[in-house]
Structure 1
Amino acid sequence: MALLTSPTSRLTWQLSSWLSLFVCAPVVAGVLLGLLSVLQALLLAVVLGALQAMFIQYVVTPRVKGLQAIESGLLNFKDGDFSTSLAYNKNDELGDLCRLYNETASKLHQERQWIYQRELMLDKVLHSSPQALLLVNDKQQVVYSNHSARSLLFADLRVEGEQLSVLFARMPNGLAQALQAGKEGLFSVEQQHEQRQTWHLATGHFLLNNQAHTLYILKPMTREISRQEVQVWKKVIRVISHELNNSLAPVSSMLHSGQLLAQGIEDTRLARVFTTIDERIGKLSEFVQGYGRFAKLPQPQMKHFSWHNMMQGLTQQWAFTLLGELPEQGYGDDTQLEQLLINLLKNAHESGSPEADISVEVNCSEAQQEILVRDRGKGMSEAVMASALVPFYSTKSTGSGLGLALCREICEAHHGDISLHNRHHGGLVVRVHLPLA
């Protein structure tokens, strides 16, 4: 310290200090500037991070949620689900897109419900149709069949997925041949325990899911042809009855006048002539009245009735054996059904059957009533059986040919059917099927 007391030493020390400060100042300044740059960088990073977080929170995240919602909705569309709506409702482009999606989904959902209701209605109509419907693809595989097709052709079994060639073995020959030929028109089918039936085949070809399909429509025509045939006979009968009545009335009047004029004449031959004419007029009037009842059969008055009361009334007119347990109630026009049974029992007695072998059986299920009338008479040949239900056809010399025709008319008026079958070891059985409702 003593050395610094000299002026020279102090000057030298001062010069050295200033020189050192001059030399170190840039270094210090650089250090200070470096510290300031780091702080600015850190501050800038913090600000940018905050801005980024705010951008993600308020801009990116809502849009990501909106895009996710649209993606989820489109996946629902892909799965066929139009019942889901999107909750994103911001006032931006994605919000507008989501609202458009919700409107589209709602409209598609309503249209699907409408189409579903139409499909249900169409399915009900097709299954209720009396026509048998078979839809077959280009591989000859059944893809659809209605109830009529299953009950009439396949004994109520589902046949979807079956090959049509395999099903031919289950069908009657006439039906299988008609389907194999694929030609539209009428054809006949021989059914076991049934009369020969007439059918009409119609076909349609179209594309379904870009695959060729064939629709077979089978319509039973037996009842329709019979109905038209009966209507023609009724018109003929009405014309004949009208003409006969117009002739019988003046003949009967003239007969009465002739009897009055011949009262003072005692001639047995003349009396015999008048008696014969009167008998023939009576027979002819009865004949015309019988045909008139057939031609003017009234609509049946459907109601519940007692089978026991009806059978008790029949036993007083005809002898027969009642088989099985008799149902308590029947349904239909009891007057017409009683006339049906009278005609069938009359035919059974006239067939030459012993009275002990004539029987009546009545069975009821949930859907129908079945009446069976059996005898051990001569039966019927195939030719006679084919025409037995036709009006005016009779193998009896004194028959009018209206008994079985009237029975058929009564059955069809009740929406039922009647069939005739020869029995083993001789005799005939008449089957009558009537609906319960």
Structure 2
Amino acid sequence: MSEKQFCHLNALIIDDDAFMRSIITKTLQRLNLGRVESVASGEEALTLLKDADSHFDILLVDLLMPGMDGIELLRHLAEHEYQGGVLLFSGADSKVLKAAVNVARARYLNVLGSLQKPVTVDALTYYLTHYQSYFRSRHTVSGGSLLNTSELRQGLNDGHLTLFYQPQVDMKTEAVVGVEALARWKHPQHGLLGPGAFVPLAEESNLVGDFTTAVIAQAIDQMQKWKQKQLNLQVAINISSSSISILDLPHLLEHYCQHHKVEASRITLEITETQVGQDMVTMLEVLTRIKLKGLCLSIDDFGTGYSSLERLQRIPFDELKIDGSFVHGSYRDQAARAIFDSSAALGKQLGMSIVAEGVENQDDWDYAAKLGCDIAQGFFIAQPMAPEDFESWLQRRESEKD
């Protein structure tokens, strides 16, 4: 790990236990963060966050505090539109921690995950790396929107949208068989931004059509470049709920595939489980037409929504992608393991390929393999990378096998 990997990050620890604050502060300082501060209560944290000169990229929030507890603090952070990452920790039961993570997600906070005390340096390193890859990889500004509608529209024209690619590996052969295309935004002042900074704005601003077109065009263009280098990979592209209602989407996909001479079957469109059932008639029409064009369909983040078997049967999904919150650590978390087990079994019964997302260590890999998952994706394999970095990584991986 580079000594300067986290030097641009500022963290705020919120815990009423002075000893625990001291331990976490020293641990973060060992990781060479730019600035680490701590407060003893949620009230103090909110006061500090209101100071325009005191922005923090990451908040580490203890759940059990006198007065304003961590759950209440999450509500206030959402009301203040806090834009940074949130990492929860506590000595409470793992079910309570998981419920707290769900609360944070429901309030649209950038929750990184949760830790049980004592907090270790390895766990903090993992979540800091996760933050950099999925949220804001270089700089973050708290307490306000990083983009406005006009910047988004102009940025789409100027090529500020870029795609990173995270490898997907066949669990039997360990061969790299595909990638997931993940949208990032190259901001001239704030660096590389994660999707939370611009996807919701695109949907709210009626720019989702332009945004979807840009993502599809860039992904298929990259597929053509890789094909010319004899890299025939399956490429997964996330499609938002608003995009599914675009009736011309099947024609758009067909056009780009034909123009770039890319096989439609090499593209997998990922639709999150929470989107299934929204305007079911239109969704069913668009997705069925997409399937007729030869593309593959995946239900993403499975386990986080409320899909019925009837809905899963009506939509012609090829793949079931189990959410990382049920994959990572499932070997030691009974509740997550139960959901992981039943989801994998359901997918197999429906004849779907099973993708385990969030495979972050050897134990995650081993348990996913035990369940018979077909594909694995996660930090244990590799982080999302720019195309040229992915190609270099793949070459190193192949040479190490020889």
TM-score (norm 1): 0.21
Which structure is larger by alpha-carbon Rg, 1 or 2? 1
